[in-house]
Structure formats: C-alpha cells, structure tokens
Amino acid sequence: SAGSSPFGVALWSELSGDFRWSSHENMGDWARQVSCTFQTTGDGYLESVAALPTSKTRDFSRWSQLEEWRSKQIPELPEILAGFPEFVPVDEAGEVVDAEPELLSNFPNCCGLPVLRAVPPTGLPELPDEPHRIGIASVASTVAAPGTHNVILGLRTFFDKSDAKVWGIRNLAKGNQFEIVSGDVQYFLNQAGSDLLPTIPLLRLTDAALNKLGKLCADLCLTGLVLICSPAELSQVARIAEYLNGCVLGPPVVAVLHSVKGNVHLPKWFPTSIGFDSAVGALAEVTGNIALSRQSLGIGTYHFVCVGSPPLTLEIAMQTHPTLCYIGEDIGQRGLTLRAIIDEVADVIVERHHDHGLTTGIILVSDDFFEALVEMRQLRDELNKLRLEKLALLPQELGEFFAMLPADVCHSLVFRSDANNMPLLNLPEAERELATLVARCLACRAEKGERSLAEFMPHPHNLRHLMCSPMPTLLDSRLGYALGHVAGLLLQQRKNSYVASLANLGEPCEKWDACAVPLTHLLALGPQTTLYRGVQNLPQIMPSLASGSGFRRGGASRAASGSRAHPVQFCLPPGGHPLKWSNFTIQAEYLCIELEDDEAESPKLDAKWVPLEVWSARAPSPLAPLLLAEVAHGIPAGAAAGSSGTIPHRRIGQQNPRVRRPQLSPECVSWAVAYRVKAAMIVAATEEVNVLQMLPNASSSASIYDLTTESSSPSLIRKESSQARLDRRVPSMRIGIALVGRAGPGVNNVIQGLFDYLQTVGGTVICIALGIEGLIKDGFSFELDEETLAPFRNQGGCNLLGQSGPEDLRRGDLAACAATVTRLALDGLVLWGGCNGHSWTPRLAEYFVQEKINTCVVGVPASVQSDLPIMEQTLGYDSMCKLLASVVGNLAVRAASSGKMWCFVRIPGRSLSHIVAEVALETHPHVVLVPPSDGTEQLSLLEVTQIICNTIELRSRDDKNYGIVLIPDQLLASVREMRQLFEEVAEIRMMCPEALDCIGSVVVRDFAPVRNLLSPLTRSLFKKLPERICAQILGLAFDDVAPRSRTAASAGARHTWEPLDLASVDTEVILQSLVEAELTRRVLLGTYKGSFQSMTYSMAYHGRAAMPTNFDCDLGYTIGYAAGIFVSGHRTGLLVDVTKLKEDVRKWEVRGTPLLSLQTIERDSGHPPVCQIRPRLRLHYDVGYKSNMPEPLHRTVISPGPVQFAGPCSSAMTQSLCMPQLQRVRQMARTEQLIAELKGKASAGCPVEVLHAVRLLLQGGTELIHQL
C-alpha cells in the first residue's frame, strides 16, 4: 500500500521491484540514452533517478541567434510575487457569481467560489510538513499557445525556493512522467511550441479515465496538479477538479488558460489569455505586408485574408485598416446574406476603381463567416426538417444559397450530422470562396454591360496557421512566467478549482496584480457557452469597430491602407511603457479607445497609444502625390480633377532603425565633403560576357569606378568614353528616380539616401510615379521635400512612388523617356530594378548620349532574389529572406510540436532560388526542392514526388512523422511534364483563344475544349489536377512568356525568354496531392506503415512590402547616396555596386559597374540579337548550402524569429553572405596545388617542347579568364 493514499490501495507488488523505461535523447551535446529507474522510498514515494524530458524536435547545439539570446532573458515578475503573498477573497459586490442550476448540479464542489486577489502577507508563511510534489500537464486538442513553456519554467522556478519536485505528465491515464529540473529545461525559456511537454487531447472524460488519473496522482503522491488548457478543455478540467476535490486529501487543481484565438475574457480579472498577443504580432506583420503589396496598374488586385477567430480579425483590422472587414458577430447583427455581402464587396471595389482610382485593397474575414450567415442557420434547419419529413426540395432562396456553397460543404450538410443530430457544417475556406464569388459577380456585371472592372485578380490568403507557434512576445513571455508563479502560489495555499490570472495589465509589469478566477465563472459566461465546449466569450472592443462600420462604409473603405504592422520586437526602448506595445484588446480594456463613425476619412487614434509606431502629425491636406497619379491613370479627366481627400495617416517607428539615420560608407562621406571623385580604379568585369559592341556609340572597353578614400590627382582619373561620362556643369542638380519592376524592401531608403545627398550638395529629387508608365507617358511627377519623405523613412512598401512591370522598351519608348527627362530638366535618372528592368537601362543611357541629352542614368541593384551577376548581395534580399525564414520557423515549430504534421511551404523564387537556399540555411527544413547542378537540368513529377516520399518514409521509421517541405514558386517551370503543359496551353491561347473562355464562366467551368486540344500525355496530367489548379494554369499571363516554337516566334511574339510567373499557381497543393497518392500506394504495398497528415501554406506575397532590416536600410541608403555621387560626377550607364558587405558598414566599398558588363546576347536566326541580364545560376557552386545542414533524418527545428531592429540580434546578416564560397575556395586550393607540382616537375628538368606546350596552355587559360 502506498502509505495513506486517499485514492485507494496502490498495489506496489505489481512493480516487481524497479520499473524501468528508456528513451533516446536528441539534444546536441546532451544526446544520450537516458535510463530512468523508479523505486519506492521509505515514505512510499515513487522516485526517479534520472529524468530528462525526451525531445526529438530540438537540438540546442544548433539554434538561431535569437532563440539562444531569448533563452537567457529571464522575464520580469510583478512585485507582488517577489515574496509569499496571500490570496484573499475580493470584497467587491458582484464578484461572487450565483451558480446556474446546471453548473451546480455538475460541479457542486467548485461552484460559489469567490474571485481571489493576492495581497502582501500579514505574517510569516506557513511551511509545509513535507516537500510539495507538483504535477503539470498540458491538455489541449491543438498545439499549446506561445508562452506555455514559460508557465512550466515559472512554476519550476517558484518551487525552487523549497525542495519541491515538479513532474511533467505526458499522459493523464498512463503517466509517462518525468521530473522537471531547472538546469535541464532552461533552454525552453521564451521559446515557441510545446515540445517540452506535449499536449494531451481530452476528448471525453469517463469515470474509468478519472479513476486512472486518481491512481496516477496517488502513485506520484502529488500535492497539487496544474493543467495548462485551452478554452475547449475548460469544462473537462472542471470535471477533473470536481473529482479530485471529492477525494479525501486530493491534490488541488489549478488551471492556466491559453488561447491564441483570444476568445476568453472576464472584465477586470481576466483581460487576455496567453498566446493572443503573440498570434496578433505574427499575423499583423504578414497582413500589413500583404496590404502594402501593389500589383499591375489597371488590374483590380484584392487580397482576401482570413486570420482566424473574430477577436483576432478585429485586432488585425485595428492594426492594418483593411478595405473591408467581416466578422461573424457583425454579420449576425446586421442579418446579412451571402448575396448581400458579395454585392457590397463588388460595389466597393467598383467604386474605388472608377471614382477614386484605387485598384488594390485587402478584405478581412473571420473563420466563422459562413457559420454566422442568416441563410446558413435557415439552411441547416430546413435540411434537418427535410430529413425528418422525407422531403426533397428547398425553398428557392435557400436553393440559390445552397448552389453557391462548395461541393464538400454541400455533401457534409446533406449526408453528415453533428453531435446534436443537425446537418454538419464543414467550414470552408471563407477567404477563397468569397474571392471566387466576388470575381464571378464582377464578371457577370461585365457581361451585362454594367459598371465593373475590365480585369480583376483576387488573391486568397489563409493565415490561420501562423497564429499557432510564433515566438512569444514580451507580453506573453512575462504573462506565462508570472502565471506559473501564480499557479504555484495557489497550490501552496491549497486553492482548488481556480484559473490563475493577472490583472491590471495596463500598468508596467512590476505593478501587475496576481489573482485567481473560479473555473465555473468562466464556464458561466456567454450565451453560446455549453458545459463541454468551454467559454466562447468575444471581448467587447470598440463597439463602432465591432459593428463593422469603421471598415465597411464611408471614407475608410475608399481610402488606401493608412497603417501597417511591424515585426515583433523584444527590446523595449529606455523607459518604454508596456501599454504602448500592447495590442488594442488590452488598450480597450484599460483606455476605452473609441473610433469615429463611418463617415470619417481616416480613423483617428490618440498618437501616444499606438503600439511601437507613432502617427504622423500632418494635418489633412490634398491627396498624396502617388494617389493623385493613380487617380489620373486610366479614368476620365473630370473625375480626376474633382477627386480630393486626405493623406492617410502614415506611421513612423519609434525605435532603431525606424528613426535613426542609416549608416553610410566612408567613401560616400569623403566624396560628399570634397565634392569630387577621390579616385577611380579601372577594373575588368569579372563575370558574364561584355556586349558593349551591341550599342552604336559604346566604348570598346568597360570600366568599374570605385569610390575610395585615398586622395589622388584629377590627372590620374582615366578619361572615359561619352557613354560613361557626360561633361556639363550644373549649379543645382535635379535627379529623378523611378521604380522599374516590382518594389522591394529598401526602396524608401534609396530615396532617402539620394535626398539627403542632394540636401548636402544642393539639388532636388524628382519622383516619377508609376515607373515606366510615368517615364513613357509623361506621367505624374513631383518634387520631394522633407515633409513628404518623413513618413516613409525606413518603411516598407512603395506608396511614395508606385511601381510598374519591367516591360521592355521599344525605340519609340526611348524617345518618350527622353521627352520626359527633358521636360523635367533632369541631370540624372536613378532607376530601381532587377535583371529584367536593367536589361534595357543601358539602351536608355546610350540613347540619351546619342541624342545629346545631358541626363545620366544610374541603376540600383534591387532584387529580392539576389541574382544579379557580380553583386555580392542585392538590396531587399536580406529583408525578404529573414521574413520568410521567420514564417517557416513558425510553421516548423507547429509541425514539430504536433509530432504528426508535414507542411508544404511555397516561397517566392525561381526554380534555382537563392531565397530557398538562405531560408533553408536559417531553418533546416527536411526537404528542399531545388534542381541539381546549374538549373538547366529538368526534373519529372515522379522524381519530385519520390524525393519527398522517401524522406517522409525515412523519418517515419524513427517515429518522426513531421517535417517541412520548401518549394520555390517557380519549381514547376523546371518540371518536364508541367513545362510541356505550359507550352501547349500557351499555343492554345495563341491559336485558339476561344477555348479558354471557360475560365471566365460565372457558373460552371468546362475544361473539355482545352483538354481536347492537349496531347494525350498532357491531357492525362491535366485531368488529374484539381479544378482550381486548372483554372489557375489557364489564367496565367502567357503573353509575357517567349514561345518555344518557331511558329509562335514568326507570329511576332517576343524573343527573349522570361520565366513564367507561377506565383498564382498553388504548386504546394499539386505536390501535396501527388505525395498523398504515392504514400497511399506504398501503404497498400506494405512498404510504408507510418501516419501522414499535411497542410499547405503559400508566401508568394509576404515579403516585397516588408520593413527593411537594418542591413537593407544601410545598404539602400548607401546606394541612394552613391547614385547621387555618380550623377554629380557625370557618370552614366553604371550600376551602383557595394562590396565587402561582410564587414562593418564603415568598411564597405562603393563602386560603379557598367551595366553592359552584366549583359549577355541572345541570338536567334532571322532576328536581331537581344541583350539581357541572365540571373546568376551559381547557387550550388558558390554556396554549397546542403553541406551545411544535417541529413534530413537528423534535422531539428530552428526558429529564427522575427526581424529585430535593436539588440544583439539586429545586426545579423544572411548566412549565404557570411559563408565562404566553398567550391571556389576548393578550386583555388586545387589550382595552387597543381601549379606547385608543375613548378617542381619543371625545375627537375623536362624537354623544351613540353615546356613550350605547357606555357601555351597556361597562356590560353589566362586569356580565357581575362575574357570573362
């Protein structure tokens, strides 16, 4: 017998002495085989000799810099928890809630408890007779929210004051417990996920399960039990507390509630739950980036985004100001039907486009969108009635609504039932279905001749997966750590059936109040509460916003997005008030923030309470220059002239690098002081073929101009050709700047650097809006001043200038550009662009020289792909990679914490993607789909599927049924079968365009005409693809792709090959379906016996509008400053090149590389040669990234976390930049070895003719290298 156990007799004889178990630890240097021995002591306790937690998901010898730094930052604690406070009942009226009859009958021992509040002790604390033995378990059907690791470590730290033992319980019925020792688990502090203590699903508690739990508590002799749970398990936790409370001397039960959905709220005593703030931080950053991403002019591009629960949607709407926002509560209160919502969205889109010239926007929907529709409730009631009465017809209105629902939803409503025997609603992806229905509505209006859009491009985004496992914010870290102490304090005082909580979160952390809320208080809240579902209480945040009026009608739905979010920061500024950094949910709890009603042009908030960033104080004035340009583009002149409005509120950050002036290379500083080029070094181009002979007035040689700090005589500066230097003297310069192609992080820093340089030497920046449209069509331009630039300093997006596609310039376009720069009297033109944009920039520079137009052309190396030849790293690459790595790390932690999830992630990038390589180095995914060698080799769908399935099977044998698959969105262009499909569809579009009318159908899409025109093998593949994938492929912009056939070429198509933009094709869904089919085949054959669950996620539009990192801020500022220097030095046809980027900014070197030296010639018989810049395809040769990662079987989770602007992690560079170019180093070493052997052989003596032959070979090799 186990002493005086109150739970009955524990038969220790069944243990037969010692009970042994073993598990494998995979924790880097701590990896070892742990053997735990349980034995009884004289007191009847069950002891453990060694008990480290098993963890196959983490390797603390390989983790990110931010993870390591965060694990050493011990969160602050409220002052009340510094000692041993006492919990006393709250005396305020109404705090003791009368129990409802149903609750009282189910939980008689837990009802009627008062709210407790911690107060300073009145005397010395009572010491326990014997050390506490505390058990802790995580019970939830999903991954635990961010911050729950801190709960565990906070509980352990609290009991470090005594000799208490804390046991982690992995299974409430079977035990599988381990002792939590402070030194062994410290690495999990401030970390995401729940891999230290995996969650246990509590589907339904039976009496047998409760008896097993009681026996487990008796075996461990627990004096307290902490259950970390979600709202869905709250009623089950109450049952456990009720059961143990009914046992003599049973351990008290304390719950710690976590919820990323934010659906738990008790005024004053439970303001928020763990995880909500972290989820908001991750979702707001991505949603803000999507909101700022702009697409082609004239095309209605709208992003339909779902972030999850109504509280989350409400909070994200407050932070990003979407065009429209729909949450379930608002839909139900207004009694909206699906048709009314579709018409409302379509009306707003059409009005914004025709009356305001706005072609982009973002629409937020909550995940209860369909559930809250009035028609849905009526439909379920009617279907249930039809089942009972054996009828077969629906009313006409419900029949039309039923026809608009997806097929799987209709099937579940008809053939499946829920727990209440009602038709089961299988919730669809609300954002995708709404986007499809709105597109069909606009197409139907266009067919009827009503006012609509000529072209509409919806982009659905499902961001629900991002809320589960981000790195916990400062608020969640402190909240979790403090709640662990509160739970320990409650158990020490034997308070049972309580939920640990903290109040007064509006004050600094040291002034928070510790309190405890009875379990039944939360179960009694809310009209939708049921005993076995937990609380479903929506926080009442700003009634005007909750009703949707702030984002549905009036000016807010017409204006461009006026606010944006930011990456989560872990370094508070000195004296920073925590409430300024908190979400609006907490602010509404303590500040009662109000929004103006729907007619206000811009929602106004008190500037001092906006988190992290502050609103600009500019008074309302005419529309911003870019908005005026967009208004004037493509709409009647009268409408443009009559348009007016206010500048949307812009936000300027409060911390590094948002308000700091980016650092500048000393070369640029020295030149600005001396106002002349200090020195110019002539260096031959080191990569790609020189094509200077292609242009009529081009020089026969190229020069790279370095800005150095050494003084030199002007006579030492080489005299360049007219193509490289324009002789003129201008007292006050005017330099124009335009974006060619897609924008990226750092564009505003380039403008900032150019502007600050001209402020130093005297001059004006002329902003040419809308890229090529502004250059060719003599578009809108304006002079930049400090007031206009201030809101955009160090910010993401391209709202200041706008953008256009990287279209090729024809001869007439060159003349139009010349007319524009002549009218603007520009001394220089700075062009932002990548490979495609800068392919024609030298032609523009040459044309200006030929026509004697004194305008220098300087290029900015801007490519998030970092694929420009010669460049060490292009602008925007650092920000893009770090943002995507943060999201991939988030998803990886979720997959690893669940232990049974494979995530197929699609990220931007060509098939041979430098972004994929960098993200892989940062996160160590388990499958990276990058074609081998130099990118010319094509894979097959079978080979790609086998690569993924083999890795899944290999990891499954080691009981690792989770992982990450990284997929570049251009991968399908390197797959033979898909490439053949694309070419055939392009040919169909050219020869038989009427066959593609099916993709614009407003009711049913018929792909039969297209299938009949495909070859047999391609037709078979096309039939197996999902309908939405087929529509995406047929809707691709094949007009921008060079056809491969000679027939198409003779028809006048473009001759240069540009990769097909596959960002709109769900490549991850295709591979997911193929992998599922292959694994099913292997299961039937008996070769695969593991489990497989999967999810997909696309990041095609996440990064181009991201806030630039410190590195990109400095790089962009340096490039803009240097561009001004080159224009002042009368240099043209150059690309700003910043080298030695691995060093400190003070050691960077700036030079100008002739754009022609980057170009190659595309020759085609019968057509004139074409110049273009080929993307750099030396990824494997230069980086060799695969050798820097473990084998897929042994790869563990790495979460880089969000980009930091201050602190020790703010200066981190990309790993591909810091890594040595392995293959080049090896080749150099091998070359030196061969030269040494050659010298040795030659000195030993050999025939003269042999030496002559060797000399000729060496001379030929030297000449070959010089020609590169």
In this predicted structure, what is the pLDDT of residue 1057?
Answer: 40
Res 97 pLDDT > 70: no
- Paired tokens of 792: 């955009």
Please say whether the beta carbons of 464 and 434 come within 8 A: no
Q: What is the DSSP string of 1184-1246?
A: -GGGGS--GGG-------S--SSSTTTT---HHHHS--HHHHHHHHHHHHHHHHHHHHHHH--
**Smallest Cα–Cα separation from 373: which of 419, 338, 415?**
338
What is the rounded distance in angstroms from the CA atom of residue 1062 to the CA atom of residue 742? 15
Q: What is the DSSP letter of 923?
A: H
Read off the pLDDT of each residue in 426-443 and give the average, rounded to a whole number. Answer: 89
Res 446 pLDDT > 80: yes
Q: What is the DSSP letter of 29?
A: G
What is the rounded distance in angstroms from the CA atom of residue 503 to the CA atom of residue 511? 9
3-state secondary structure of 462: strand
- Paired tokens of 1152: 């100008």
What is the rounded distance in angstroms from the CA atom of residue 814 to the CA atom of residue 809? 7
**Smallest Cα–Cα separation from 1060: which of 1178, 1190, 911?**
911
What b/e sequence results for 345-365 when a residue is b if at least 16 CB atoms lie within 10 Å of its CB, and e otherwise? bbebbbebbbebbbbbbbbbb
Would you call 797 exposed, middle or buried from its count of C-beta atoms within 10 A (0-12, 13-18, 19+)?
buried
Of the spans 190-204, 325-339, 528-542, 1000-1014, which averages the highest pLDDT? 325-339
Q: What is the DSSP string of 68-81?
A: HHHHT-PPP--GGG
What is the rounded distance in angstroms from the CA atom of residue 1206 to the CA atom of residue 655? 8
In this predicted structure, what is the pLDDT of residue 872?
Answer: 87
In this predicted structure, what is the pLDDT of residue 73?
Answer: 92
Res 1169 pLDDT > 90: no
Please say whether the beta carbons of 361 and 293 come within 8 A: no
When pLDDT is cut at 50, 70 and 90, the band that residue 1156 belongs to is confident
**Smallest Cα–Cα separation from 837: which of 875, 872, 799?**
875
3-state secondary structure of 513: strand
Please report which helix (H) or strand (E) contains residue 789, including its range: helix 786-789
**Smallest Cα–Cα separation from 940: which of 830, 1055, 1017?**
1017
Percent pLDDT > 70 in the chain is 72
For 1049-1058, what is each residue's pLDDT tens digit?
A: 333 333 334 4
The single residue listed with the structure tokens 């979600």 is 230
CB 95: neighbour CB atoms within 10 A?
17
> What are the DSSP E strand ranges found in 820-901?
828-833, 856-861
**Smallest Cα–Cα separation from 821: which of 857, 786, 870?**
857
Please say whether the beta carbons of 1123 and 665 come within 8 A: no
CB 21: neighbour CB atoms within 10 A?
12
Q: Is the pTM of this model over 0.85?
A: no
In this predicted structure, what is the pLDDT of residue 280?
Answer: 93
- Paired tokens of 1233: 């070895």
Res 1255 pLDDT > 90: no
The distance of Cα 997 from the centroid of its chain, to the nearest Å, equals 35
Q: Is the peptide bond before 121 cis (omega within 30 degrees of 0)?
A: no
In this predicted structure, what is the pLDDT of residue 1221?
Answer: 58
Please say whether the beta carbons of 1065 and 972 come within 8 A: yes
The single residue listed with the structure tokens 């006048």 is 1052
Res 1181 pLDDT > 80: no
For 51-93, what is each residue's pLDDT tens digit?
A: 444 456 677 777 889 999 999 999 999 999 987 899 999 865 4
In this predicted structure, what is the pLDDT of residue 710?
Answer: 38
What is the rounded distance in angstroms from the CA atom of residue 376 to the CA atom of residue 426? 12
The single residue listed with the structure tokens 């000016």 is 555
In this predicted structure, what is the pLDDT of residue 91?
Answer: 67
Q: What is the DSSP string of 522-540?
A: HHT-STT-BTTTB------
Please say whether the beta carbons of 535 and 522 come within 8 A: yes
What is the rounded distance in angstroms from the CA atom of residue 621 to the CA atom of residue 421? 59
Q: What is the DSSP letter of 44?
A: S
When pLDDT is cut at 50, 70 and 90, the band that residue 1178 belongs to is low
The single residue listed with the structure tokens 């002493």 is 3
Q: Which of 446-455, 564-573, 913-922, 1026-1035 has the lowest mean pLDDT?
A: 564-573
In this predicted structure, what is the pLDDT of residue 741?
Answer: 79
What is the rounded distance in angstroms from the CA atom of residue 892 to the CA atom of residue 884? 12
In this predicted structure, what is the pLDDT of residue 55?
Answer: 53
Read off the pLDDT of each residue in 1162-1182 and give the average, rounded to a whole number. Answer: 68
What b/e sequence results for 592-621 when a residue is b if at least 16 CB atoms lie within 10 Å of its CB, and e otherwise? ebebbebebbbbebeeebbbbbbbbeeeee
**Smallest Cα–Cα separation from 314: which of 279, 349, 344?**
279
Please report which helix (H) or strand (E) contains residue 770, including its range: none
In this predicted structure, what is the pLDDT of residue 1184?
Answer: 55
What is the rounded distance in angstroms from the CA atom of residue 780 to the CA atom of residue 718? 39
When pLDDT is cut at 50, 70 and 90, the band that residue 581 belongs to is low
- Paired tokens of 891: 């998803």
Q: What is the DSSP letter of 622?
A: S
Of the spans 129-133, 476-480, 730-734, which averages the highest pLDDT? 476-480
Res 949 pLDDT > 90: yes
854 versus 1059: which is more confidently predicted? Answer: 854
When pLDDT is cut at 50, 70 and 90, the band that residue 23 belongs to is very low
Q: What is the DSSP letter of 561?
A: P
Read off the pLDDT of each residue in 1127-1148 and give the average, rounded to a whole number. Answer: 92
In this predicted structure, what is the pLDDT of residue 576?
Answer: 52
Res 938 pLDDT > 70: yes
> What are the DSSP E strand ranges found in 855-901?
856-861
Of the spans 33-37, 709-713, 771-775, 941-945, which averages the highest pLDDT? 941-945
For 1078-1121, what is each residue's pLDDT tens digit?
A: 999 999 999 998 889 999 999 988 888 899 999 999 999 999 99
In the chain, what is the greatest distance between 2 CA atoms, to the nearest angstrom?
Answer: 110
For 447-464, what is each residue's pLDDT tens digit?
A: 899 999 888 889 999 999
27 versus 396: which is more confidently predicted? Answer: 396
Please say whether the beta carbons of 82 and 259 come within 8 A: no
Res 840 pLDDT > 50: yes
Please say whether the beta carbons of 75 and 481 come within 8 A: yes
For 952-983, what is each residue's pLDDT tens digit?
A: 999 999 989 999 999 998 888 888 899 899 98
3-state secondary structure of 583: coil
- Paired tokens of 7: 């739970």
Read off the pLDDT of each residue in 30-46 and give the average, rounded to a whole number. Answer: 34
For 106-161, what is each residue's pLDDT tens digit?
A: 788 788 888 999 999 877 666 666 788 999 999 988 888 999 999 999 999 999 87
3-state secondary structure of 590: helix
What is the rounded distance in angstroms from the CA atom of residue 163 to the CA atom of residue 133? 9
In this predicted structure, what is the pLDDT of residue 438?
Answer: 93
Q: What is the CA radius of gyration of the chain?
A: 33
In this predicted structure, what is the pLDDT of residue 1266?
Answer: 63
Using the Cα atoms of residue 46, residue 50, residue 53 and residue 57 in order, give the sign of their dihedral.
negative
Res 615 pLDDT > 80: no
Name every residue whose Cβ is closer than 8 Å to that of residue 768 and which is 6 or more positions away in sequence: 736, 737, 738, 774, 775, 779, 781, 801, 820, 824
For 367-408, what is each residue's pLDDT tens digit?
A: 999 989 988 888 888 888 887 776 667 888 888 888 888 888
What is the rounded distance in angstroms from the CA atom of residue 56 to the CA atom of residue 62? 13
826 versus 575: which is more confidently predicted? Answer: 826
In this predicted structure, what is the pLDDT of residue 298?
Answer: 62
In this predicted structure, what is the pLDDT of residue 445?
Answer: 92
What value does the mean pLDDT of the chain take? 76
3-state secondary structure of 828: strand
CB 475: neighbour CB atoms within 10 A?
26
When pLDDT is cut at 50, 70 and 90, the band that residue 1267 belongs to is low
Task: Report the 3 state secondary structure along 1140-1176.
Answer: CCCCCHHHCEEEEEEHHHHCEEEEECCEEEEEECCCC
